[in-house]
Structure 1
Amino acid sequence: MVAPTAAAPAAAFSHAAFDKLLKKYVNSQGRVNYKGFKSEEKAFNDYLAQLSKNPPTAADSKAEQMAFWINAYNAYTIRLILDNYPLKSIKDIGEPWKKVFFSIGGEKMSLDNIEHGILRKKFNDPRIHFALVCASISCPPLRPEAYSAARLSAQLDDQARDFLNNPGKNKLTASSAQLSSYFDWYKDDWNQNGQSVVKWVNKYAKTKIDSNTKISFMDYNWNLNEQ
């Protein structure tokens, strides 16, 4: 009797189609060519359709799941902008983050569902705030490549370094720090597990701060992150 062969593990979902579009239509500053995405709308929609049908499962690694949901957030944010393009700001769309306009795995969802209901709640890694891009100037720059499980931690660290050392996002001196509003809005995320805003900043910023550094928060520029 021939023993049954074990089923091969399912191949990880491929974000190659999104990666290709990001490389073409996001520049080195993380600005987006939305007209470019619009010109390849069929390819983009095909990727979103596959994304919708292939949610990660509990059997997938943590990195695989996180990469999927970060890519999904950024891709559906671009889709939301295209649905309302041209516009000056994502905030011109009524309650953009609460808007239920896509489904993944048969579940109707909003961008808030991904950010707060899945990524922040399930994975508890504050570095996601350096990767999720809300289509605005003050957001972290959109990475000109898709996130992948194999390189996720390195990609998130790279995003953090880029964000913290960009004077348009954070202005740092030893005596005063004007930080992104992210460090105020998500203070509970930064101040957990023995961490603090100061520790997170110093992990990635070239200019170090300490408990005596006067911290304030920069005004947030909601204008569209367009090239």
Structure 2
Amino acid sequence: MALAVLAVLVAGAVLYVRGALPAAVPVAAGPFTYTPYASALDRVRPSGDLDFAGLQQDRAALEQFVASLASVSPRLRPELFPTQEDGLAYWLNAYNALVLLQLVERHPEGVSSMGFGRFYWGRAWPVGGERLTLWALEQRILDEYADPRVHFALFQGTRGGPSLDGAPYQPEFLDAQLNDASRRFMGNPRHVRLAGDTVHLARLFEAHQQDFLAALPEGRGGNVLQFVWAFLPDTCEERPGCDTRGDLDRACGPRLDRCRVTFMPEDLTLPDAAVPPPR
């Protein structure tokens, strides 16, 4: 009997983490829109840090958007999201808004205070008739789109991870927005830094290396630096101190095979505009 109960509990936990449990679908308060989420993103600074104090005082728009996710999703109402861009924009905005709301609710604690595992699978939200954890959103739903640029668009709640843009993802501009997110990530010395013949990369490149390699013309037999090169800036006028394509060419050769790649630890501090980043 005890084993049977344990088996049921384990199965339930697996279904919970994977986002395979149903959720009630409330009647939508009105047409689905990203406008409330756009209002919350006004608190994003050009640096990528956030005005968390302001968001806490004026969190109604963010909460309104998250509540609206319960009534609509591309899986529940596919007719509202007829293109792949429509669906991907929805899931990216949903994921980032849920991360942001969880951080606002727990401010000033950050992701590391909860432990990364519990932050991403310890809570589930009603989204279009399903109870979805952040883990399920990323690993089960967003993974279906097979676009490696998605990894640079997902806000992780740390200064060392991808930063939020100041606007929601929109289907009509999605390709350009994903390119911008990738360039923003590559142009940050926290994520890509050249030192002699060694290229220091963020751990995100290690965690998702196979996805980046699969996107190359050479496939998985290529070099992850080829993917990095594609999104590095040509100049560092906007981001002083960054590394450029030319820098990578000169250090690593035309085939980008002369350099050694290492992966840097991530800065886990909260991207709070009120708290300066550590030196």
Structure 1, gaps ≥5 residues long: 1-11
Residue deviations 1:114-164 (CA, integer Å, cap 9, x gap): 1111111x1000101111011101011211111000111100101111111
Counterpart selection for 2:140 from 88, 98, 117: 117
Give the corresponding residue for 1:4: none
Q: In the alignment, what sits opposite 2:230?
A: 203
Distance 2:176 2:32 in 1: 20
| TM-superposed deviation, 1:173 | 5.4
Structure 2 unaligned residues grouped into runs of 5+: 1-30, 233-243, 274-279
Q: Root-mean-square deviation (CA), in Å?
A: 1.9
Contact (CA 8 Å) 1:84, 1:93: kept in 2 or not? Answer: no
Instruction: Say if 1:100 and 1:108, in contact at 8 Å, map to a contact too.
Output: no
Q: Which residue of 2 aligns with 1:3?
A: none
CA deviation string 1:11-51 (max 9, x = no partner): x84212111220x2000011111222211222221111112
Equivalences, count: 214
Partner of 2:112: 91
TM-score of the aligned structures, taking structure 1 as reference length: 0.88
Matching residue of 1:33: 51
Q: Which has the larger radius of gyration?
A: 2
Per-residue CA deviation, residues 155-184 of structure 1 (Å, 9 max, x unaligned), is 010111111111122113572210110110
Contact 1:18–1:146 under 8 Å retained in 2: yes
Q: In structure 2, how many angstroms separate the alpha carbons of the residues matched to 1:84 and 1:21?
A: 17
C-alpha distance in 2, partners of 1:118/1:173?
37
Amino acid at match of 2:231: Y
Give the aligned partner of residue 21 of structure 1: 40
Alignment of 1:38-117 (within 5 A): 38-57=56-75, 58-59=78-79, 60-87=82-109, 89-94=110-115, 95-117=118-140
Q: Which amino acid aligns with 1:211?
A: D
Q: 1:213 aligns with which of 234, 259, 267?
A: 259
Distance in 2 separating the partners of 1:84 and 1:101: 16
Task: Point out the more displaced range, 192-201 or 34-43.
Answer: 192-201
Q: Distance in 2 between matches of 1:72 and 1:104?
A: 9
1:45-83 deviation per Cα after TM superposition (whole angstroms, max 9, x unaligned): 111111221111444211111111111111000111122
